[in-house]
Chains A and B, each alone.
Chain A
Amino acid sequence: MGIVEWAIDPWGQSVPIHIAWFLIWVSVIAGLLFLIVHAIYVMYFAKEKQFAGDASPAIIAKIPKRVPRHSLVARLFHWIMAASMFTLLFTAFLPKVGVQFNWVTYHWIAGAVLTVSILFHIVHASFWLDFWSIWPDLTDLEDAQRRVRRFFGISAPPPRKFAKYPLENKLFHGVIILCGLSVILTGVFMMSRVRTIFFPRNPYLFSDMTWGLMYVLHGLAGVGLIALVMMHVYMGLRPEKRAITKSMIFGWMDRDFVLKEHDPERWAVETGSSSTPK
């Protein structure tokens, strides 16, 4: 049983046509396994987080009671993207598991919304936000190494507190970028195969082999997103992550949570009159 389904095109060439649909269940099961394993880990094995020393009192004194984390625009982007992502996943995969409905139109509309919102996000994050705050830096990698060593009982100094985003968030964002851009880039071309308001139909834009590979990449990234979205929603619902989830709704974090887990010297917190150093 392969992960790709093949067919013979009219020219006698063996071409991939799409992924094997059992991968939907592989992704769902992988997502569920992650949830279960993580929940067990947190409940029975995880040790309390330990961080290296606090920032200087002068900087701490400047931290407001509510620390701004996500602007209204950033939050709107996140929820629009979430709505379009859920629509895309449900319209893509429900028909494959037996729930029949007119899915194509909703799928390409949601895809168009996702594409526009991602383009907006790239511009917004590049010019209006701290672009590098979501990318892992050297400190993240060193701290990750420290945490792993300490978990296995090997001597290592405590990791420093996080910058604006923990390493896990940054890595998740990176994987989402890979999957998201894969489905978007292939999806935009695939729109030329259905009737939309954007392009005249041209199913011969690429060769059958190229189209096939495009469908396979779209499918692989799509089923990958099932597990990724499950993990993301699960993390957003976990009690210890509630402050992060709340900040995506209300835009701010409690000062106590920021001081407990984040390093104001690594996260330029807006204080009204000035910012703490990065």
Chain B
Amino acid sequence: MAVIRDVMAAFELYQPSSVADAQKLLEEHGSDAWVLAGGLDSFDWLKDRIKKPKAVVDLSGIEELRGVRTTGDGIEIGAMTTLTEVVNHPVVKQKYGLLTQAAELVASPQIRNQGTIGGNVSQDTRCWYYRGGWPCYRAGGNICYADTPEGRNREHAILHAERCVAVNPSDTAPALIALDAKFVLRTRKGERVVDAEDYFIGPDIDITRLHILEPGDLLTSIRIPSTWAGAQFYFEKIRDRNVWDFPLMNVASAMVTSGDSIERIRIAVNGAAARPLRLKAVEDAVRGKPRSAATGEMAGKLAVQGSVPLQFNAYKIPLMRNLVKRAIGGVEEAIWAS
């Protein structure tokens, strides 16, 4: 399995200046096309010569895909808006601080300057067996090398694994789910708007991709409604290296309280499964309950129900339980009774 990190395999480079042109190119080339946003995930694949697309459609010249716009009901973020622009945008900071927190914890400043929000939510998994070019399920083969007794699966899934145990590595995805964001897609059939949580799919639905984009489709923007503007937010990311790293797991919550009790809440975790998980059962269970350590503890236990650890990632179960507890009860309250 030669890994060549010098020269990419040859491809035709297209640099459209409008969404319409980009979509036309993507439809024309179908599954032979590769969408290039910030390039941070793409160039790994291309330089390693694991993915060898015939055509690369570079979106960097499409102005309409850039920037944060305020709308009648919230904001709309162009898919090619860099993570730094998202972090520094005053409205995002003021009203949707959860996204600011999440985007600020993505990788390093240099990467955030280049990486886009569309790329961050659409990036591929970091499973090294898959990225190493081995013929695993996700690569179209018939085995998961990580889900074996000897497999190195410390970073892999504890929930909803179905043959493949890879996890989604996005930091902004759970924040966008918690903010009830909508993803705007351009497809062959026209514009399609989906809930953030429905943008992501697990291996039970399609083992070869992490999101619903078909060949020819394009994520153009992300709309965040004002429903959760100014709510109480919590984002925490656990990673091996605090300088910069992908998440072992992260949690994002948006909460509205009334007095001591939780009136409304949305909570999501990532790094536990192949898609970021909205914890609906937890939301239902804590609604109307006091925001306390006891509620958080109950929520944490509920969140990890059904989890199945692999050989080396059992630590993720208490990690997820504690993250959910902290997201609901608060950090200072998060001391386990048992």
Contact = CB atoms under 8 A, between A and B. Distances in A.
Interface in B183-217: 201, 204-206
B135 A193 contact: no
20 contacts: A7-B139, A8-B1, A8-B135, A9-B134, A9-B135, A12-B1, A17-B140, A100-B206, A102-B204, A104-B204, A193-B142, A193-B143, A194-B162, A194-B163, A195-B162, A201-B148, A202-B149, A204-B148, A211-B143, A215-B142
B163 A193 contact: yes
Nearest to A6: B135
A3 to B, nearest CB: 16
A12 B135 CA distance: 11
A212 B148 contact: no
A15 B140 CA distance: 13
A160 interface: no
Contact of A17 (B141, B161, B206): B141
B145 interface: yes
A174 interface: no
B148 A102 contact: no
Given A7-B140, A194-B162, A203-B147, 12 more contacts: A9-B135, A17-B135, A17-B141, A18-B142, A100-B201, A100-B206, A104-B162, A193-B163, A194-B163, A195-B308, A203-B144, A215-B142
A221 to B, nearest CB: 16
A13 to B, nearest CB: 11
Contacts of B135: 7-9, 15, 17
Interface string A87-116: 000000001000011111100000000000
Contacts of A277: none
Interface string A182-221: 0000000000011100000111100010011001000000
Contacts of A95: 206
Contacts of A211: 142-143
For B141, B149, B201, which residue has the most chain A Cβ atoms within 10 angstroms?
B141
Contacts of B308: 195
A203 B148 contact: yes
Contact of A102 (B134, B145, B147, B205): B205
Contacts of A102: 162, 204-205
Interface of B: 1, 134-135, 139-145, 147-149, 161-163, 201, 204-206, 308
A202 B143 CA distance: 10
A92 to B, nearest CB: 13
Nearest to A218: B142
A214 to B, nearest CB: 9
Contacts of B140: 5, 7, 17
B142 A17 contact: yes
Interface residues of A, number: 27
Contacts of B206: 95, 100
A232 B201 CA distance: 37
A272 interface: no
Interface string A1-29: 00001011110100101100000000000
Contacts of B144: 203
A201 B161 CA distance: 13
A105 B204 CA distance: 9
Contact of B145 (A10, A194, A201, A202): A10
Nearest to B308: A195
Contacts of B139: 7
B154 to A, nearest CB: 18
B197 to A, nearest CB: 16
Nearest to B209: A100
A202 B147 CA distance: 9
Contacts of A8: 1, 135
A203 B205 contact: no
Contacts of B162: 102, 104, 194-195
Contacts of B141: 7, 17
Nearest to B201: A100
Contacts of A202: 149
A207 to B, nearest CB: 11
B300 to A, nearest CB: 25
A104 B144 CA distance: 15
Contacts of B1: 8, 10, 12
A12 B1 CA distance: 6
Contacts of B145: 10
Contacts of B201: 100
Nearest to B133: A8
Contacts of B147: 201, 203
Contacts of A194: 162-163
A203 B134 CA distance: 15
A12 B3 CA distance: 13
B86 to A, nearest CB: 31
B142 to A, nearest CB: 5
Nearest to A95: B206
A202 B161 CA distance: 16
A7 B130 CA distance: 13
A208 B136 CA distance: 11
Nearest to A98: B214
A139 B256 CA distance: 83
Contacts of B161: 195
Contacts of A12: 1
Ordered nearest first, which 8 A-B pairs have the shortest CB separation? A7-B135, A102-B204, A17-B141, A100-B205, A215-B142, A17-B142, A100-B206, A203-B143
A197 to B, nearest CB: 13
